[in-house]
Amino acid sequence: MTDLYQAQRTMRNMRRAAMQRGVIAILDVGTSKVACLVLRFDGPDKFREADGVGPMAGQSSFRVIGAATTRSRGVRFGEIDAMHETERAIRTAVQAAQKMARVRVDHVIACFAGAEPRSYGLAGEVPLHDSVVTEQDVARVLAACEVPDFGEGREVLHAQPVNFALDHRSGLGDPRGQIGNRLACDMHLLTVETSVIQNLLYCLKRCDLELAGLASAAYVAGMASLVEDEQELGAACIDMGGGATGISIFIKKHMIYADNVRMGGDHIASDISKGLQVPLAVAERIKTFYGGVVATGMDDREMIEIGADSGDWDKDRRTVSRTELIGIMRPRVEEILEEVRARLDAAGFDHLPSQQIVLTGGGSQIPGLDGLAARILGQQVRLGRPLRVQGLPQAATGPGFASTVGLALFAAHPQDEWWDFEIPADRYPARSLKRAVRWFKDNW
Amino acid sequence: MQPLTPRARRDPAPSRVAYRLHRLWLTPLFRALLRVGLPAFALTFAAGIYLSDTGRRAEISQTLASVQKTLEERPAFMVREVVIEGATDLSQAQVAALLPIDLPRSSFDLDLGALRAAIGAVDAVAGADLRIVSGGILSVRITERRPAVLLRSAAGLEILDAGGHPVGPASRRADYPDLPLVAGNGAGGQVAAAQMLWAAAAPIAGRLRGLVWIGERRWDLVLDRDQRIRLPQRDPVTALERVIALDQARDVLARDVVAIDMRNPQRPTIRMTAGATAAMHETRLLEQKTRLLEQRAAGQ
């Protein structure tokens, strides 16, 4: 656990250093695109009065000064598959964003969608030394959480205290200074595959960038596209990406569950490619321009030229009706949504007080998706777009950039995680000077 | 696995070297160094190499000097004539001696400030106004000091202005009949008082020889026939007016008087000559005798 602590704390320090320098890069390594934003932090109140943006999610403290998107290469299911290809894609995006920002960035906060996230709910309980809860007690109760055995080759990505309870009172946001006998806490732990992180680290290192933070794409997409009351009352964010569909459930402004369906828009495109016998690029284009999930009578008459380059007249002049296209797409979309439904059911989403579902990500732009999703996921479905942030180009404001924008918010104002609290004194190695200092602090 | 040798198509990604160079170029310090530092260094270096040769340096300085000389000696900048205005013969010669004689000369070589200071240092000059006017003329406008009193001292006669500043030597008293003559230690600092007394003494001006500053505190008026009017330290003009009034009423000064002492204003004193004193005693004796004779005659 100390190891993880050190790594995450190092990243936090990097982030602080970057904030001091005022420039930080956001890197969203997705299956279909790699997006890079360069943020400049100018202090919290610089832009607030200019256009009435409140300080709600910390988005008023920064400004996007560089943005670049490039087609992703070598990424499958939100995981890096061909490292050198991905490295090139990252390089392209970072260089273009730097060029636009006219500034060099050294620190980067990255997110990725895949890596088989698994959520764990942890609980811990400690008796209080004296009846007032101090920062040390919070640290102790966090340390007392029983960490499950999540197996070899997995790494903790997020560990957020979700709830504190003092004696019989639960639902405390901040127990410090309160009086009681026993302090309990619930923590949400998200683990991912270590190898994925290592691959990403390797790519970033090859690009001369220092990692200042890591986040799960599902989590940050939820941060960006759920509005405040949805986060408070309970909502799920479905981030329909290219290679993976992320699910994150929020309540009381904390993520309590995250999961990942390893299917996405690329699978729809590959279905089209197979069904219509066209190259993947053409299939992608057809999906983007003519795609849909609900066929109407009009669609029977709308013929799409799919073309080819074979030289054979008959093959090169093929057309399909939009209904056929929808017929290919719909089962796959349904399959994805069914899978999401299954994950949500497994997580106990139907026990939440509010069951709002927000669809975001590039895949959510399929026309008619909200109707289909309402049938499968429940009545409260809406399409979500990311929060508006200062200086973001128009091209990067679509739902496909939900996790990018969310990552920017995460960079500006990360939630407290386990490693943001102090290490309890008894967890320090013996004979440590820090431990002595801590003892003096506590007893004098 | 993909083929290890990539297909020959354009890769939109920058190469690692290009990426690094771009980042280096975006580094502010490096950028400043390259955009300002490098040209500045190259320029300095080139100039240093060029100037390291002594012959070249001399050549450059020579060229510069000759250019400067041609520029300065353009006819527009030459001064050919000096015009002195406002100077009388008292100061004309002295001022003219100070002005440059080797005309024509470039106006860049003339230090008007120093010239003005030098001219201002001449006793007879109160202020000088120098300018170079068009046509190559150095115009010197002089304000002279106005003579106020003559000071007689061991060194001779000297003219002073109203502020007590020396104007120049005087050869003879008769050359300045209308100026008051003063003498005595420190009299030069009392020009204003002397002028006031001189004005007050206008009724006896015909007889007035001069004023003497006694003991650096009070005045004596010296008349002809060695008569003196000793004035008090305070309010000498009033005392002088009283003497003049006395003179006009009783004709005191025409009599055989050596000095009228007004030093104590409450008790003016007259000092007579020895002959006058004897004559007064005789007159008194005669009067006494006459009175005795009259008493006797009345008693009988």
- The whole-angstrom separation of Cα A77 and Cα A59 is 29
Q: How far is A57 from chain B (nearest CA, A)?
A: 31
By the CB < 8 Å criterion, does A89 face chain B?
A: yes
| Binding-face residues of A in 104-123 toward B, CB within 8 A | 104
Chain position carrying tokens 């729809």? A268
Q: Where are the domains of chain A?
A: 118-193, 265-325
Identify the residue among A91, A106, A206 best suited for mutation to test binding to B, counting B beta carbons within 10 A and taking the highest: A91
Q: How far is B10 from chain A (nearest CA, A)?
A: 13
pTM for the whole structure: 0.65
- CATH class held by domain A118-193: alpha beta
Q: How far is A96 from chain B (nearest CA, A)?
A: 10
AA letter at B77 = F
* Whether residue B214 has pLDDT greater than 80: yes
Interface predicted TM-score (ipTM): 0.75
- The whole-angstrom separation of Cα A75 and Cα A78 is 6
For residue A35, the cross-strand partners are A28, A69
* Whether residue B217 has pLDDT greater than 80: yes
- The whole-angstrom separation of Cα A57 and Cα B12 is 36
The tens place of each residue's pLDDT in chain A, 444 residues long, gives 456 677 888 888 888 888 888 889 999 998 989 999 999 887 655 544 445 544 555 566 788 899 999 988 889 888 888 888 899 999 999 999 999 988 889 889 999 888 889 999 888 888 887 878 888 888 888 888 888 888 888 888 888 888 888 888 888 878 888 888 888 888 898 999 888 888 988 999 988 888 888 899 999 999 889 988 888 888 999 999 888 999 999 988 889 999 999 999 999 999 999 998 898 888 999 999 998 898 888 888 888 888 888 888 888 888 899 999 999 999 999 999 999 999 999 988 888 888 899 999 988 999 989 889 999 988 889 998 888 888 888 888 889 899 999 998 888 877 777 777 776 666 656 667 777 777 777 777
Measured between beta carbons, the chain B residues lying within 8 angstroms of A92 are 12-14
CB within 8 Å: A207 and B11: no
Q: Residues 6 or more apart from A304 whose CB is under 8 A from it?
A: A286, A290, A319, A320, A321, A322, A325
Q: How far is B39 from chain A (nearest CA, A)?
A: 22
Kindly state the tokens that stand for A244.
């993976």
Measured between beta carbons, the chain B residues lying within 8 angstroms of A91 are 13-14, 16, 19
- Helices A322-347 and A280-290: crossing angle in degrees, nearest 10, is 90
Burial A89-112 (b: 16+ CB within 10 A, else e): bbbbbbbbbbebbebbbbbbbbbb
- CB contacts < 8 A, A to B, total 33
AA letter at B3 = P
CB within 8 Å: B12 and A92: yes
Residues of B engaging A, defined by a Cβ cutoff of 8 Å = 2, 11-14, 16, 19-20, 22-23, 26-28
Nearest residue to A370 via CA among A294, A297, A300: A294
Q: How far is B78 from chain A (nearest CA, A)?
A: 59
Measured between beta carbons, the chain A residues lying within 8 angstroms of B13 are 88-89, 91-92
What DSSP character marks residue A132? B
Nearest residue to A7 via CA among A218, A198, A188, A220: A198
- The whole-angstrom separation of Cα B60 and Cα B76 is 26
Q: How far is A95 from chain B (nearest CA, A)?
A: 7
CB within 8 Å: B13 and A98: no
Q: Are A80 and A29 in contact (CB under 8 A)?
A: yes
Q: Which of B2, B22, B28 sits opposite A95 (nearest CB)?
A: B22
CB within 8 Å: A207 and B14: no
Nearest residue to A113 via CA among A234, A258, A255: A258
Q: Which of A92, A98, A99 sits opposite B13 (nearest CB)?
A: A92
Residue of B nearest to A89 (CA): B13
Q: Domains in chain B, ordered, with CATH?
A: 75-144 (3.10.20.310), 147-276 (3.40.50.11690)
Give the model confidence (pLDDT) of B45-61 as tens digits.
999 999 998 899 999 99
Output the pLDDT for position B215. 87
